[in-house]
Structure 1
Amino acid sequence: MLKLIKFLEIFAFKKILIVLSFLSDFNLTSNSSNLFNQLNLNQIPFISSYHHHHHQNSSSKPLRIAIIGGGPAGTSAAFFLSRLSNQSRNHADIHLFESSNRIGGRVLSIKPFDSDQFQSIEAGASIFVGANKHLNHAAKIFNLSLQDYNQDKSENGPIAIWDGTEFVFEETGSEWWDTLKLVWRYGRAPFQLSSINKQTINQFEQIYKESFISIGPFDSFHEWLSHSGLLNFLPITGSDYLINQKSINLQAVNELAAIFTRTNYGQDISNIHALATLVSLAGKSGRSVIGGNHQIFQHFLNQSQSKLHLNHQIHTISQSNPNKTYSNPQYLLSYHQNSKNLTATTDPFDIVIIAAPFHQSGLTLQNIQQSIQLPSIQPYVRLHVTFIITNSTSPSGELFGKSKDQTVSRMIYSTMMRNVLGKGKRPVFNTVNYLKNLGQKDGVIGDMHIVKIFSEAPVTTGTLQKLFKHEQNLLWVKRLEWDAYPFLNPIQSDFPPIQLTQGIYYVNGFESFMSTMETQTLMSFNIASLITKNYWNFNPKRNWIDE
């Protein structure tokens, strides 16, 4: 959510792409520059035994469905279930429960100075790309206006790569000279990465086609990944894949390719699996919805005509009448409302969809008669995002071992190569990006600029003072943090289940493989299709975007 490459073709001396983020999800950057133009740096198979469902027809009572979580996964699940129930001439009574007071989950935007005077700036899940067909189609049918994520060309400039001790690569602003510098340092790697990018995009495109959809819906993540051809990228790290299987030189992997995984997923390329690395390296044309990407998911929910329950913290799922034998058990949801300690319980539901990270949600399953398969604990990256409004036109060199009055690039991406080799410290940030010129304000000398910093830990005020030369240059600071995406370590066999037990489905297990806005909607479509197949004997053969 910010990713994908369209690297320079050497003989034509095209520009290399800038770091943004693929599919979104929860991965972000901004602007383009000369050299990196548009580079988007944002189990064993679970064999389901739960297919002995009755098939509802149009005269039956509505199938009661509860969805826990109001982010991309939950809202799109409601939307797809509503569409499929209409297409199959069945009825669904859908309820969506969200623990907070808003829809969107980790898709979050802020306004400079917390003022409605300014346009929203994406904080989480900043962009999606042209290859993200679900999100683009949704924006189209919902009549949402899009903008290029790097729309403010005035903030573009040379890119720099910082390793915690020195700049290992700095653009000068001269396209020819910067191209020669790039090739001199990284050799053939830009062209190899460009080729990998094209192959990855072609492979991702297959999952939208009728030939793939008609095989499903899939009972397990293993099955989905196997049929999509992505399974073999999970057991190895990104660096292992690029170095040992694609013969890309070590320096290019640990500097050039590494900035994509650190920008998109806040993780080092030596730790993250190859599939997440490919996601980080794939795509172009970063865009966002004017007014905030969260509007897509609000529209998903509105179109579904689901009943929304905000400020409902679901803490327990229990079986209704567990001592009785049912072919189709029903479930009660117990919840706290408005953060109060008092517990209330819903009426029974036929189906529950968990559309939030299971272990972060605090959910427990009680009094379930059938066997249960719970997902393994999945740690999440705690991402720190710092927004700064400053009248400093560029960062100061003081933080980078230069003089206080010397300026550096306005787009800085960090690599951990020196730290990995035991020769230096980790950078204090993942990325520093000037996003937008906000214009002038009374009492402020010069134009105001909004800057976004991603980091593994809070960025101290002292660090910000060094970065922007003087404390008085810090006109506004806003700090956010959240569990942005899972630690995407290589996966050998411990795949999370799609069904925890009969009638209880889990969307967010897919984040272990790809954590983006788009891929959450992909898995919601699969699970919605699985439900309609199991309960109504209705199986869509085409993707909803082709209907």
Structure 2
Amino acid sequence: MKFDFKLATVAAGFLGYVFAQSAERKIAIIGAGAAGSAAAYFLNQLATEAGVNVNVTLFEKTNHIGGRSITINAFDDPAQPFEQGASIFVPINYVLYESMNAFGLTPRDPDVGSDPVMGIWDGNSFVFTINENHPEWWTNLKILLRYGPTAPQKAKDLVTATIGRFLQMYTPQFFPFESLTERAEQLNLTAVTGVTGQHFLAANGVGTLYANELIQSLARVNYASNLPNMHGLCAMGSVAAQGAIAVQGGNWQIFDEMAQRSDAHIQLDTAVTAIDKDSSGTKFEIQTTSGSTPGTPSTYPTSFDNVIIANPFQFSGISVGEDVFSTTLETIDYVQLHVTIFTSTKKFKPSFFNLPSWISAPGAVLTTLAKTDTPTSGPDGVGKPGFWSLTTLGKATNPQTNQQENVYKIFSPEAVTPSFLSDLLGGTVPSTFTGGSSPISWYKATVFHSYPKTSPRTTFQDPIVGEGVYYTSGIEAFLSTMETSALMGKNVARLIVDDILAAGSGSGSKMVKSRESDSERDSQGVWWEKQSVLN
């Protein structure tokens, strides 16, 4: 008999209310990015539905909610925001898409205002270009003539099948999960993460030229890596951008709304420095510092029953007591991505791309390896192009001239130099980048630890890392997106509420075990259901 998850939730919620309505579960969430904000939001939502009492405190060391999802204001004008990273999501990103609609946020087409011509450059020449203003039949013909009749369709089918498997993680049969490794094995996704993107595509009949040019250029702009250096699931995720949208004013607003609607005690500019058990050994004490120039850490006045660490632990600077973790938190090698955004009245100089002066350069430039490159050529494998991507985001009005200028964004493994920009724009860019006769009127450069280097692997950090302690960033080595981080936040929220209900009813982990066994029985039905959604 199929396990009725909704009925079980109602029944368990009633039991939780009867046995534990007076007990308050105090929960600390460290980090208000996608995962932490989602955890707070869904803890409030799920606890309310189940009739249990949670008291959540959300700690964020910066003054910004949304983590790596952040906008930057051209000319420092809040009326002219542009995405600094995490630019898009798609309708099958259910947590983000449904939250955007629930919060009444306005979606926008991320391509509006951008340049319609996209080229794939290998450091020598453009191997392929697409103009979105051209008829679709013309674009399809160009793809057919360069890549043949089978590679594009095989790649599309492979993406559909792989993402279909991943989407089962949202269904009652497979959600929530206590072990990401076990869930990936059950869905046969370790067969995808265990090999390189290059191997996965080749093994499924996707032509080498199509993989090395079109798919690899998308992998590089999404994960700053080449197909031989990343696992197959990230490669497939790079291509799955059909129907891409963004939120008007910035995607970070989804997470800000989550945090504000969670009823959590939001502590901005508050860095957690230490976690330890209290004298009773049953609750957690947290040390914090506050402000831009923090002083000596102090003990936060509340002790907590649960702690959710919702940021990469290796960058947190948090010390932990010896009884906090029951497992070692893996240190993952993250990509260091330089994001450079600037404005200029100039367009890209054709000669920079070895084009004759009468041919305009594409306004969106993705890159791939040159024939003489290897997957490790240049810093972090960027190869002869020297950068991962160069895109035109749109237009912004210069307040000094009241003229519209182009807004450009560069992803690169190293800091962009004035010499590089001088060659790109055809004018002299000074060491200050702006000022004087510089072709650049406004400039902003930032460095992110943007996402893990996703080499092939079949095991992942599980979300439960100690008794009462949860960790969300393990999912980033599996698939690093705003959506998957939010999904893991929702997952740990569900695990905690289930734990509260089980404790109140005295049923231990029986509810979780029942759900696990049911997922094995119903996996095939969910697979076909999700395939129909994707098609």
Per the shorter chain, which TM-score range? 0.7 to 0.9
1:76/1:421 CA distance change after superposition, 3 Å: closer
Q: Could you say which structure has the higher helix fraction?
A: 2
Q: How many Å separate the matches in 1 of 2:461 and 2:411?
A: 29
Counterpart for residue 318 of structure 1: 276
Structure 2 CA distance for aligned equivalents of residues 319 and 207 of structure 1: 33
What is the CA-CA distance between 1:469 and the residue it aligns to?
1.5
Shift of residue 403, structure 1, vs aligned partner:
5.3
Deviation at 1:441, TM superposition (A): 6.3
1:414 maps onto 2:362 in alignment = no
Q: How does 1:138-537 map to 2 (within 5 A)?
A: 138-152=99-113, 155-171=114-130, 175=135, 178-187=139-148, 188-213=150-175, 217-243=176-202, 245-321=203-279, 329-338=282-291, 339-346=293-300, 347-368=302-323, 372-392=326-346, 394-402=347-355, 407-418=360-371, 419-420=373-374, 425-438=383-396, 443=401, 447-471=404-428, 472-493=438-459, 495-537=460-502
Q: Is residue 276–residue 321 contact of structure 2 (8 Å, CA) maintained in 1? A: yes
> Residue by residue, what CA displacement relative to the aligned partner does 1:160-184 show, whole Å, maximum 9, x if unpaired?
1111222222347755665444323
State which of 93, 99, 102 in structure 1 corresponds to 2:55.
Answer: 93
State the 1:233 CA deviation: 1.0
Q: CA deviation at 1:439?
A: 5.5
8 A contact 2:16–2:52 mirrored in 1: no
The answer to whether the 8 A contact 1:200-1:282 is kept is no
**Change in 2 beyond 3 A, CA 1:401/1:137:** same
Letter in 2 for 1:159: M
What is the letter of the counterpart of residue 289 of structure 1? V
Q: Which runs of 5+ in 2 are unaligned?
A: 1-14, 429-437, 505-510, 520-535
Q: Closer, same or farther in 2 for the Cα pair 1:159/1:93, shift >3 Å?
A: same
Q: Distance in 1 between matches of 2:350 and 2:184?
A: 46
Deviations 1:430-472 (A, max 9, x none): 111112133676648x741111111111111111111111243
Q: Report the AA paired with residue 320 of structure 2.
A: L
Give the direction of change, closer, same or farther, for the CA distance of 1:449–1:502 in structure 2 (3 Å limit). same
Partner of 2:96: 135
Structure 2 CA distance for partners of 1:82 and 1:422, relative to 1, 3 Å: closer
Partner SS, residue 317 of structure 1? strand
Change (3 A) 1:228 1:468: same
Tell me, in whole angstroms, the C-alpha distance in 1 between the residues paired with 2:363 and 2:35.
34
Q: Indicate conservation of the 8 Å contact 2:52/2:500, yes or no.
A: no
Give the match's secondary structure for 1:412.
strand
The verdict on how the C-alpha distance between 1:174 and 1:144 changes in structure 2, with shifts beyond 3 A counting, is closer
What CA distance in whole angstroms lies between the structure 1 residues aligned with 2:398 and 2:55?
51
**In 2, are the aligned partners of 1:131 and 1:201 still within 8 Å (CA)?**
no
Match of 1:82 among 44, 60, 65: 44
How far apart, CA to CA, are the structure 2 residues paired with 1:464 and 1:294? Answer: 29
Structure 1 contact 64–94 (Cα < 8 Å) conserved: yes
Cα 1:423–1:358, aligned 2, differ >3 Å: closer, same or farther? closer
Deviation, structure 1 residue 423? 9.2
Cα distance in 2 for partners of 1:367, 1:409 equals: 56
CA distance in 1, matches of 2:200, 2:496: 36
| Conservation of the 8 A alpha-carbon contact between 1:94 and 1:306 | yes
Which runs of structure 2 are paired with 1:101-116 in the superposition (5 Å)?
101-116=63-78
Change (3 A) 1:85 1:396: same
Hey, what's the Cα distance between the residues in 2 that align with 1:86 and 1:301?
A: 16
What is the TM-score of this pair, normalised by structure 2?
0.83
What CA distance in whole angstroms lies between the structure 2 residues aligned with 1:185 and 1:353? 49
Contact residue 405 and residue 469 of structure 1 kept, 8 A: no
Of stretches 92-101 and 465-474 in structure 1, the one that deviates more from structure 2 is: 465-474
Q: Distance in 2 between matches of 1:483 and 1:501?
A: 26
- The SS at the match of 2:229 is coil
Deviation string 1:136-180 (CA, Å, 9 cap, x unpaired) is: 11111111111111122xx43322111122222234775566544
SS in 2 for 1:340: coil
Q: 1:132 to 1:304 in 2, by over 3 A?
A: same
Q: Is residue 41–residue 262 contact of structure 2 (8 Å, CA) maintained in 1? A: yes
How far did 1:123 drift? Answer: 0.7
1:407: how far off? Answer: 3.0
Report Cα offsets for 1:97-142 as digits up to 9, x if no partner: 10111111101001111113x3311112111111111111111111
Structure 2 CA distance for aligned equivalents of residues 300 and 174 of structure 1: 40
**Partner Cα distance (1:460, 1:331) in 2:** 47
Corresponding residue number in structure 2 for 1:44: none
Could you give the per-residue CA deviations for residues 371-407 of structure 1, whole angstroms, max 9, x where no partner exists? Answer: 6202221011111111121112x31123223456753
Q: Judging changes above 3 Å, is the alpha-carbon distance between structure 1 residues 119 and 421 closer, same or farther for their aligned structure 2 residues? A: closer
Counterpart residue identity of residue 330, structure 1 = K
Report if the CA contact (8 A) 2:75-2:398 is conserved: no
* 2:342 counterpart SS class: strand
Higher mean displacement: 528-537 or 203-212: 203-212
**Deviation sequence 1:44-67 (CA, Å, 0-9, x none):** xxxxxxxxxx97844333111000
State which drifts further: 301-310 or 435-444: 435-444
Residue aligned with 2:217, SS = helix
Change (3 A) 1:206 1:220: closer
Q: 1:423 to 1:148 in 2, by over 3 A?
A: closer
- Root mean square deviation, CA, Å: 2.5
| SS of residue matched to 2:396 | strand
Corresponding letter in the other structure for 1:373: T
- CA distance in 2 between counterparts of 1:506 and 1:87 reads 24
Shift of 1:482: 0.9
Normalising by the residue count of structure 1, what TM-score does the alignment of the two structures yield?
A: 0.81
CA distance in 2, matches of 1:90, 1:441: 53
Give the residue type in structure 2 aligned to 1:450: V
- Relative to structure 1, the CA distance from residue 62 to residue 198 in structure 2 (aligned partners, 3 Å threshold; closer, same or farther) is same
One-letter code aligned to 2:153: F
Please tell me whether the aligned partners of residues 197 and 283 of structure 1 are also in contact (alpha carbons under 8 angstroms). Answer: no
Give, as a single letter, the amino acid of the residue that structure 2 aligns with 1:389: T
User: What SS does the corresponding residue of 1:210 show, helix, strand or coil?
Assistant: coil
Cα distance in structure 2, aligned partners of 1:504 and 1:296: 25
- 1:237·1:269 contact (CA, 8 Å) conserved in 2? yes
**1:270 aligns to what SS in structure 2?**
helix
Q: 1:423 to 1:233 in 2, by over 3 A?
A: closer
Per the alignment, in what secondary structure is the counterpart of residue 183 of structure 1? helix
**Deviation (angstroms), 1:492:** 3.6
Structure 1 unaligned segments of length 5 or more: list them: 1-53, 543-547
